[in-house]
Amino acid sequence: MIARVMIRLRIVLLAVLAVAPVAARADPGVVTMDELTSLGRAGYAADGFELPVMSPALPLIDPNDSSPEATLLRRLENAGKASGFEGVIYDNRDRGHSLLPAGTFPRLATLQYGPQLLEHQADYGLAGKILLPAIVIGNSSTAITRGKINRSQPRLAMSSSSGSLRAFLTYASNHLYIYPEHKDHDKVDRFPANWPYMVISQGSSRSDKPFLRALLMTLAALPPETRDRLRDEKLIAPTLQMILRRSQVGVYSREDYMTGRANPVVFDKKNLAPERMVSLAAALKPDEIPPVVKLSVEEEDFQAHAGLAGVSEDLFTTPSAIARLWRGPEYSRRMVVSAEETEDPNGHRLRFHWVLLQGDPDLVRIRPKGQGETSAEITIDWHDAYRPLGAKQRMTNRVDIGVFAWNGAHYSAPAIISIGFPGHQTRQYEPIPNGPGKRLISVDYDAEGRETYYDPLLYWTAPWVDRIGYDATGAIAEITRQTAEETLSLSAPDRLHDGRTVSYLPEDTKQGRYLRMTIEPDE
């Protein structure tokens, strides 16, 4: 349902761009407050924006750049086979902190912001609040570095429904941005989800620049007819994502492409292969462009109110990325996800591939269904923190499943289903006697007491440990709760054995997010 709402929102956006009254024109290449039309919580459409016209006498790329990819791009342009940067604008969102060297792309226009937007800092940080009627490639080598919610810009976007909505809309509006992971993907992978809506670079300041350069070269190398078709179909960003992933070092086959190595949450510049990207872009024909995979959840047992705090397990549901947070006590969870809404831009019949990108294959079961495998039943068992395949030391608490569409010529960029686990909790499960599966017998909620990191935007800490006992029927018989001051006996999470009710409320403080327990007083 939410995915369909966002698709309709995209249609509304296109309608706004077509019929909204146009304010007085600003200078070409400058976006101003007067040009913006509100799209509600999705942001604004700059319906009056006008692209600047760059002189065709300028070189497409720095004449002193003798790299293989620059040489190939220059050859394509000389043969009239490269689309160049007409209709494209560059959006730097760190106020020059991570700019490409002057003269790298002389014919590339740079977005400027009007005085009122600068006053509101609309030119800085996470993109997505303003959508332009143009192809936009941008970067922001920034992060939130202070306070309890310090994190990268991508993790900030993943942590809210409005952030994920805007990320999808940029992706669906021919906008693609690059951001550094900034300490969110070092010894521990702290991202709650994986998605194709942006490119995240390994490292901090300026680690985004090699990807910015490679993606701009790739965009310029597309044949004009192909680029125009991608623009009209709103497939610029998904296609650039496919080319980036398909062209990495070590990704040499279709089988390599549909793996976690080709589709990580964060990309390392050592795997970047710009010459391969330019070559693949140049070979892409307009009648072979891949679709964007659109997902919808048909069934699931993730809950709207889960765990002691009664918080939703739906982090976000968008057409090309779905994320759930495991809050409840269950050992196994189930989803049925469909890709039937995916349409090939050229009407080709599609076949879908559902692939475990990251997770324990013994704990994840994917059963594709239907003609062309248009849907899949997915069952996931509890994962403790683990080291993903190929990682030397990095730990993660997330499972990623990729969904790829094959149109007979190319695979699409992946749509991704992510399941995040509360790794700050210490849980123990035991086999169910005389039955399948496992059940929870102990959970330590005291992340702060153990000096274990937790994300205060998504989770909480509580100063107690629960031990759960069961009767012969498998129902909970007793929960023994050990706090620093006392031992409590509960018959259920919301009731003591003496009949008094127990309630919970998350509270935000300067230090973090805590779950407050309130016990009904004795009469």
**pLDDT band, residue 3 (cuts 50/70/90):** very low
Residue 24, pLDDT score: 54
Which tokens in the block code for residue 379?
């069952």
378 SS3 class: strand
**Mean pLDDT across 17-42:** 77
Residue 6, pLDDT score: 47
User: Mind listing the pLDDT tens digit for each residue in 299-325?
Assistant: 999 999 999 999 999 999 999 999 999
> Residue 17 above 70 pLDDT?
no
Bridge partners, residue 470, by sequence:
476
Mean pLDDT, the chain, integer: 94
User: Mind listing the pLDDT tens digit for each residue in 414-459?
Assistant: 999 999 999 999 999 999 998 899 999 999 999 999 999 999 999 9
User: Mind listing the pLDDT tens digit for each residue in 253-293?
Assistant: 999 999 999 999 999 999 999 999 999 999 999 999 999 99
Whether 13 and 95 have beta carbons less than 8 Å apart is answered as no
**pLDDT band, residue 68 (cuts 50/70/90):** very high
Which tokens in the block code for residue 114?
């009007």
Whether 430 and 439 have beta carbons less than 8 Å apart is answered as yes
- Biggest CA pair distance of the chain: 88
Residue 156, pLDDT score: 98
Bridge partners, residue 175, by sequence:
136
Beta-sheet pairing, 321-325 with 464-470: unpaired
Residue 26, pLDDT score: 73
Delineate the domains of the chain, giving CATH numbers in brackets.
Answer: 2-286 (no CATH), 296-420 (2.60.40), 426-519 (no CATH)
- The fraction of the chain above a pLDDT of 70, given in percent, is 95
Listing DSSP states for 381-439 in one string gives E---SBPPTT-SS-BB-EEEEEEEEE-SS-BPPPEEEEEE--TTSEEEEEEPTTSSSEE
User: Mind listing the pLDDT tens digit for each residue in 475-490?
Assistant: 999 999 999 999 999 9
520 SS3 class: coil
Residue 159, pLDDT score: 96
**pLDDT band, residue 398 (cuts 50/70/90):** very high
**pLDDT band, residue 511 (cuts 50/70/90):** confident
**pLDDT band, residue 75 (cuts 50/70/90):** very high
**Mean pLDDT across 175-204:** 97
Residue 16, pLDDT score: 43
* Secondary structure tally for the chain: helices H, strands E: 10, 29
**pLDDT band, residue 25 (cuts 50/70/90):** low
